[in-house]
Amino acid sequence: MTSLNEQNPPASSAAGVAGVAARDAVAPRARRRFSADLSALGEPALWGFGGALALGIIMIAVFLMVVLYNGATTFWPKPIDRVELTDGTVIAGTERRGTVFRPQLAQLDDTARAEVEANDGFAFRTLYQTANFDLYGDDFRWVADFETANITQPEDFYYFERQVWGVFIGRIAGMQIDGQRMDYDAAEFARQQTAARERFREIRRIERVEIGRINHLIERERLAQRREVLRQGEEAAAPAIAQSQERIAELQAEFQVLQARVNDIRAHDRGFTVTLEEVNGRTIEPEISQIVRFFPANTLNVFDKLGIYVSRWWEFVSAEPREANTQGGVLPAIFGTVAMTLLMVIFVAPFGVITALYLREYAKQGRITSIVRISVNNLAGVPSIVYGVFGLGFFAYAMGGTIDQLFYPEALPNPTFGKGGILWASLTLALLTVPVVIVATEEALSAVPRSMREGSLACGASKWQTIRYVVLPKALPGIMTGMILAMARGAGEVAPLMLVGVVKLAPALPIDGFYPFIHLDRSFMHLGFHIFDVGFQSRNSEAGKPMVFVTTLLLLGLIVIMNATAIIIRNRLKRKYATGQF
């Protein structure tokens, strides 16, 4: 018999059962709503941000790897191939690179056509650096696989790097030592080549240092004569002119002695020549002093290659360019890049910091101040070439022309400062990067706690004393951040420099032993422009391609070194004034 409780369960029990049923009925709907609102938790955005970051890192890493690989392997010596073609032609050269292409079938013979058709109409070809531009009129040649009959690597083939005409690939057929013909002897030729290069450097030293000094003094005397004429008139300046003419005559006598010495060395040097024979038998006979470096490319061991590799790198960072900037070194470009960047920082630092101090600490915050800040921010978006046009017009023509008229009238119409130079280039890039410094400095100043200002003022310090001894030291790490960004941008700019001072070739550094010793009015070379010139303005872009990669690698290295130095200074300032993060 059923009990009363079993027949009539408690109300609370019934309500619990109903609640469970309701929860089970609602749970699937809640889970569906949770799935539908997944975006509210930020998961898709998180994956998107992470993917974008990973993609950016991968792109940067691939770019750096390409530059590093191509730049680091540029100076590694390669073997010389002697290639016999199916038409009987023979070429010799070092393998540069290979690629797949689609040849015209109608221009091929039956054997080559069958080979190409078997590969779906494609063929592989190799680019050889045949060099010998003075004989061939070209440096490179493409050779397809179906054109190749045989490839060998003769041990008697040499790779010659010459002072002019670039690389020569071939054999040594003989040599002339002090006017006497003789067969090739490796040890004797190496010794004579070392001595010949010493003669070449001696000629270069006499011409650039000693004769250059005399030419400078003669030009100074000529300008002094003109200065006296402009100041006193021809009649009154006659005694000074006569005295100056005597000095010029003495200098010209010294010049004749030095020129005779140079002629004697050159005459002696012409008695030391080498007969070079290319793969098909044609010969040339340059002076041994014109051979910068030579080596038997097919008989080198690892240590020989490593020695050549190191010597090429040393030449690259310590010598001047040759052969239309596609060979030799880039020392003038290194000096110009570093000097211009440091001058830019010296100019941009006071202007940027003073402007930011006024806007943040002194200016009344209102509409005019807001307009100034908006204008500064908009300056960062102006194309760099516009700054170059402004720098050429204002700095070079207006300021430089005025300086010439006031201080160098005797040199006119030839300009001294009224043309592009390293000074005007630095000022132009300072204008280009000053918005970055202003914004970074303002942010650093605003990050200094207001309580520190109030505490300083409460102790009796003036506003300038507070800024100088409290605010600026605490803001220095943030200011250094702006300097780092300015250096990174300024060091890589090229477009404005093309208008205000950079040139294709300026082997003479703007530092010498003549007053004022540092000549900021001179044109200069720049690594960024050097990359552009070699890659797109040289007579053979393929010949300059390796130099583009290695110069890019060097430019990146210099920027990293300069930025790392600034970062180290910033971190030390952070530790010294550690009260917060900027």
Tell me the average pLDDT across 398-411.
Answer: 92
Predicted pLDDT of residue 364 = 84
Predicted pLDDT of residue 95 = 92
Q: Is the pLDDT of residue 40 over 60?
A: no
Between 107 and 431, whose confidence is greater?
431
Q: Is the pLDDT of residue 36 over 80?
A: no
Tell me the average pLDDT across 65-79.
Answer: 92
Between 312 and 17, whose confidence is greater?
312
pLDDT in tens, 538-551: 777 777 888 899 99
Phi/psi of residue 220, nearest 5 degrees: -65, -40
pLDDT in tens, 109-130: 888 888 888 888 889 999 999 9
Fold topology of 80-162:
SH3 type barrels. (2.30.30)
pTM here is 0.85
Confidence of residue 38 (pLDDT cuts 50, 70, 90): low
Q: Find the largest Cα–Cα distance for the chain.
A: 151
Q: Is the pLDDT of residue 534 over 70?
A: yes
Contact 60, 104 (CB under 8 A): no
Confidence of residue 3 (pLDDT cuts 50, 70, 90): very low
CA distance to 177, 193, 554, per residue, from 316 (Å): 30, 20, 10
C-alpha–C-alpha distance, residues 349 and 344, integer Å: 8
CA distance to 62, 82, 333, 422, 424, per residue, from 391 (Å): 36, 54, 21, 12, 7
CA distance to 165, 389, 410, per residue, from 485 (Å): 42, 23, 42
Q: Is the pLDDT of residue 11 over 50?
A: no
Q: Is the pLDDT of residue 28 over 70?
A: no
Predicted pLDDT of residue 2 = 45
Tell me the average pLDDT across 402-429.
Answer: 92
Q: 335-576, superfamily in CATH?
A: MetI-like (1.10.3720.10)
Q: Is the pLDDT of residue 376 over 90?
A: no
Q: Is the pLDDT of residue 22 over 80?
A: no
CA distance to 80, 83, 326, 543, per residue, from 170 (Å): 9, 13, 21, 18
C-alpha–C-alpha distance, residues 582 and 570, integer Å: 11
pLDDT in tens, 249-266: 999 999 999 999 999 999
Considering only 129-133, 488-492, 493-497, 531-535, which range has the smallest mean pLDDT?
A: 488-492
pLDDT in tens, 449-492: 888 888 888 888 888 899 888 888 888 888 888 888 888 888 88
Residue 550 identity = V
Tell me the average pLDDT across 498-505.
Answer: 90
Predicted pLDDT of residue 377 = 83
CA distance to 65, 352, 361, 516, per residue, from 355 (Å): 41, 5, 10, 32
Domain ranges of the chain: 80-162, 173-308, 335-576
Tell me the average pLDDT across 35-55.
Answer: 73
Q: How many CB atoms lie within 10 A of CB 23?
A: 10
C-alpha–C-alpha distance, residues 346 and 570, integer Å: 17
C-alpha–C-alpha distance, residues 182 and 32, integer Å: 96
Tokens of 12: 């609370």
Q: Is the pLDDT of residue 501 over 60?
A: yes
Q: Is the pLDDT of residue 31 over 80?
A: no
pLDDT in tens, 210-257: 999 999 999 999 999 999 888 888 888 888 889 999 999 999 999 999
Predicted pLDDT of residue 37 = 56
Confidence of residue 106 (pLDDT cuts 50, 70, 90): confident
Q: Is the pLDDT of residue 4 over 50?
A: no
Confidence of residue 447 (pLDDT cuts 50, 70, 90): confident
Tell me the average pLDDT across 391-408.
Answer: 93
Phi/psi of residue 173, nearest 5 degrees: -90, -20
Q: Is the pLDDT of residue 330 over 50?
A: yes
Tokens of 274: 């080498």
